[in-house]
Amino acid sequence: MKTKVKEEVAEKSSSKKMNGAMMLVEALKEEGVEVIFGYPGGAVLPIYDKLYDAGIKHILTRHEQGGIHAAEGYARISGKPGVCIVTSGPGATNVVTGLTDAMMDSLPLVVFTGQVASGVIGSDAFQEADVIGITMPVTKHSYQVRDVNELPKIIKEAFHIATTGRPGPVLIDIPKDISNAEGIFDYSEEVNISSYQPTTKPNHLQIRKLVEAVSCSKKPVILAGAGVIHARANKELKTYAEQQQIPVVHTLLGLGGMPGDHELYFGMAGMHGCYTANMALYECDLLISIGARFDDRVTGNLKHFAPNAKVAHIDIDPAEIGKNVPTEIPVVGDAREALTALIEENGKPGHTSEWLARLQNYQREYPLTYKRDPQVVKPQRLIEMVHEQTRGDAIITTDVGQHQMWAAQYYGFKNPNRWVTSGGLGTMGFGLPSAIGAQLADEKATVVAILGDGGFQMTSQELTVLAQLKLPIKVIVMNNHSLGMVRQWQEIFYEKRYSHSLIPDQPDMMKLADAYGIKGFKARNEEEASEVLKEALNYDGPVLINVVIPGEEKVYPMVPPGKGNHEMVGVKP
């Protein structure tokens, strides 16, 4: 009986007999995958054998962590799922950080891990790791393949789950014998998972409630996060804000949703956000959060968060609504669909002119500031120079730390999908590999990787990939010879006891660039930095720029830990 069914299936034009490894390749082609990031090993040898002449671009990063961060960068810029293939055991454990990062920042990934043969699973076989168990809390979903005939369906489901609803990483663990086993490849069946039907269309009743609330509000504010970027809803966001005259502030990951110079845009909110944005959150009477999840770095002490506001929350993930902040108007749905519905309602705007004037006043009184000093390279000035020389339209990737915050504060993004940073997990070492993926996703874009000297040294091996693929990425190491953000906290909160945060001993960056076959630059003062930047940006190829910045420079303003957003310090120079 079973074989008869199989024969019938085989007769369909779309179904063919092949082994599991080949099925994987065929499935990737069906999904239109342009590039995969990976690293071979024993358990994926059958897959790599099929990849050998599959005609799919494969990027061999020099560490699996680099591979998965590159896939994240690719996903962030292209909006398509990033695909990563690694071997069992150590290959799989090396992608755990990237999976967690993608889970936190809602990036669509499909990650294939090799596994030891089905027959020896559970016997502590060579290079066996319980990858499903290890990654369960850090994946949106995962599969271990038990039968080669299920592989096509599983892959199709994985792509569907990764890219729909709230995007996230999906892992497929493939035992080696499954890769070798023959089965029927049929990719024609539509995905239908009855237990997974994300809501994208917002509830009309809630939309109406929100329209009402806006028209009654004198001090509304929109907090727009990465959900706006993922949903490609930036145009709708701008239209809606203009229609209703509502000021907009961004989360770290939302940057670029509103043009940086728009008159209704009042900057980034949160721990190192600007004073105006935080005061807007503190004083508002209606808070409309769109695709943002009230991370503690945005809210500060929840007791003082938007204390007088009615809260509306638009999110594709119902579990985010009401999780951290009690919400009066919950709107489950896609940010673009919700904004479109709001625009179409064309409700009566509230009287917000006084409120806007108040915020503009804050903006004039308390802009982001720093002391200029051309004798050195002020980190803030450096980012401004990058903005000027790339007209605010480069793809910026970062590691995590002070340099990341300066980049967020001073780059002034004009467009969405230009900002690649690790927000939720705060993963050092993210910047360089994610730049590789970003550049591959947008080959014409200028990609600037703004890195810390600490973070850079966590994944610097990927410089090889830049040279090998001639990716013209401009790598800037903002070298404060310290784990700057740690140093800053130790200076402020631990009586300047710089416990293991100063790293004066570093590789010679010029020689390092040379060793990797990349052009090296160095800058020690503002003028040098400006010239080097110009030269580097005009240079057709990868460059490594070592910019020495003062070690004692701090990121301000700041909401001290445990404080409310209105209690920022370092607001005035």
Partner 1 sequence: MRRIITSFVNNRSGVLSRITGLFSRRGYNIESITVGHTETPEVSRMTFVVEVEDEGKAEQLIKQLNKQIDVIKVQDITDMPMVARELALIKVMSSPQNRSEITGLIEPFRASIIDVSKDSIVVQVTGKTDKVEALIELLRPYGIKEIARTGTTAFTRGTKQLKKSRHNLLINP
Q: Which residue from 312, 347, 310, 305 is spatially nearest to 332, judged by alpha carbons?
A: 312
Q: Is 483 in the site for ligand TPP (CB under 6 A)?
A: yes
- DSSP per residue over 141-182, as a string? EEEE---GGGHHHHHHHHHHHHHSSS--EEEEEEEHHHHHSE
CA 235, distance to chain mean position in Å, is 20
Give me the catalytic one of 16, 18, 30, 127. Answer: 127
Q: What is the CA radius of gyration of the chain?
A: 25
Give CA angle at 127 (126, 131), nearest 5°.
Answer: 135
Task: Based on the residue annotation, tell me whether 485 is a catalytic residue of this protein.
Answer: yes
Figure out which of the listed residues 347, 429, 452, 557 binds Mg ion, where binding follows CB under 5 A: 452
Of 149 and 398, the one with the shorter C-beta distance to ligand TPP is: 398
Site membership for partner 1, residue 332 (CB under 8 A): yes
- CA 446 from chain center: how many Å? 18
CB 533 within 8 A of CB 389: yes
| Residue 231, SS3 per DSSP | coil
- Which DSSP string corresponds to 283-311? H-SEEEEES----HHHH-SGGGSSTT-EE
Residue 249 binding: pick among Mg ion, partner 1, ligand TPP, none (C-beta 5-8 Å cut-off by kind):
none
The interface region with ligand TPP, picked from 277-285, 298-306, 394-402, 491-499 by CB under 6 A, is: 394-402
Out of 90, 122, 307, 326, the residue judged to bind partner 1 by CB under 8 A: 326
Phi (first) and psi of residue 208, to 5 degrees: -60, -45
Neighbours of 552 (CB within 10 A): 11
β-pairing, 447-452 with 519-523?
unpaired
Give the shortest CB-380-to-ligand TPP separation in angstroms: 12
| Cα 348 from Cα 535, distance rounded (Å) | 52
Q: Which long-range contacts (CB under 8 A, 24 or more apart) does 190-197 make?
A: 191/156, 191/157, 191/160, 193/157, 193/160, 193/161, 196/161, 196/165
The partner in contact with residue 426, picked from partner 1, Mg ion, ligand TPP, none with C-beta cut-offs of 5 to 8 angstroms by kind, is ligand TPP
Q: Which of 176, 310, 378, 414 is catalytic?
A: 176
Nearest Cα residue to 84 out of 132, 36, 41:
36
Is 568 an active-site residue?
Answer: no
Contact flag: residue 5 with partner 1 (CB under 8 A): no
Q: Provide the phi-psi class of 391: left if phi over 0, else alpha when psi is between -120 and 50, else beta.
A: left
Angle at 57 between CA 520 and CA 429, to 5 degrees: 45
Measured from the CB atom, is 211 or 478 closer to ligand TPP?
478
Neighbours of 18 (CB within 10 A): 17
What residue 498 binds from partner 1, Mg ion, ligand TPP, none (CB within 5 to 8 A, per partner kind)?
none
Half-sphere exposure (Cβ direction) of 537: Cα atoms closer than 13 Å: 19
Stretch that binds partner 1, among 189-197, 213-221, 234-242, 530-538 (CB under 8 A): 189-197
Among 228, 486, 544, 559, the residue binding ligand TPP under the rule CB under 6 A is 486
Under the binding rule (CB under 6 A), the answer on residue 446 touching ligand TPP is no
Question: Applying CB under 8 A, which part among 195-203, 222-230, 279-287, 335-343 lies near partner 1?
Answer: 195-203
- Closer CB to partner 1, 141 or 524, in the complex: 141
- Tokens read off for 55: 């005609």
The verdict on 192 binding partner 1 (CB under 8 A) reads no
Decide if 479 contacts 453 (C-beta within 8 A): yes
For 373, half-sphere exposure in the C-beta direction (CA atoms, 13 angstrom radius) is: 11
Question: Which does residue 399 touch among partner 1, ligand TPP, Mg ion, none (CB within 5 to 8 A, set by kind)?
Answer: ligand TPP
Q: Is 159 a catalytic residue?
A: no
Q: Show the tokens assigned to 482.
A: 């310290």
The stretch near partner 1 (CB under 8 A) out of 99-107, 181-189, 300-308, 325-333 is 325-333
Instruction: List the one residue from 318, 426, 560, 570 that touches partner 1 (CB under 8 A).
Output: 318
**Beta carbons of 455 and 401 less than 8 angstroms apart:** yes
* Rounded least distance, CB 456 to ligand TPP, Å: 7
Contacting partner 1 (CB under 8 A), which of 30, 212, 317, 393? Answer: 317
User: Of 26, 64, 320, 462, which residue is the catalytic one?
Assistant: 64
Stretch that binds Mg ion, among 62-70, 473-481, 533-541, 554-562 (CB under 5 A): 473-481
Which of 13, 123, 194, 538 contacts partner 1 by CB under 8 A? Answer: 194
| Residue ranges in 398-437 that form contacts with ligand TPP under rule CB under 6 A | 399-403, 426-428
Residue 337 site contact among Mg ion, partner 1, ligand TPP, none (CB < 5 to 8 Å, cut-off depends on kind): none
Q: Could you tell me which stretch among 105-113, 351-359, 388-396, 483-491 binds Mg ion (CB under 5 A)? A: 483-491
Is 132 among the residues that bind partner 1 (CB under 8 A)?
Answer: yes
Q: Is there a contact between 249 and 224 (Cβ–Cβ < 8 Å)?
A: yes
What does the alpha-carbon distance between residue 300 and residue 280 come to, in Å, rounded to a whole number? 14
Near ligand TPP by CB under 6 A, which window of 169-177, 331-339, 453-461, 508-516?
453-461
User: Interface with partner 1 includes 133 (CB under 8 A)?
Assistant: yes
- CA distances to 91, 422, 445 from 100, rounded to whole Å, are 15, 11, 27
Is 484 among the residues that bind Mg ion (CB under 5 A)?
A: yes
Looking at 14, 188, 197, 308, which residue binds partner 1 (CB under 8 A)?
Answer: 197
Write the DSSP symbol of residue 325. S
- To ligand TPP, the closest distance from the beta carbon of 503 in angstroms equals 7
* 203 scored as a contact of partner 1 (CB under 8 A): yes
- Name the active-site residue from 126, 218, 375, 388: 126
Query: Are the CB atoms for 176 and 117 separated by under 8 Å?
Result: yes
478 binds ligand TPP (CB under 6 A): yes
Residue 567 near residue 560 (C-beta atoms within 8 A): yes
Active site residues: 64, 126-127, 176, 485
Residues in touch with Mg ion (CB under 5 A): 452-454, 480, 484
Binding-site ranges for ligand TPP (CB under 6 A): 399-403, 426-428, 452-455, 478, 480, 482-486
> What does the binding site for partner 1 look like in residue numbers (CB under 8 A)?
132-133, 136-137, 140-142, 144, 161, 193-197, 199, 203, 205-206, 317-319, 321-323, 326-327, 330-332
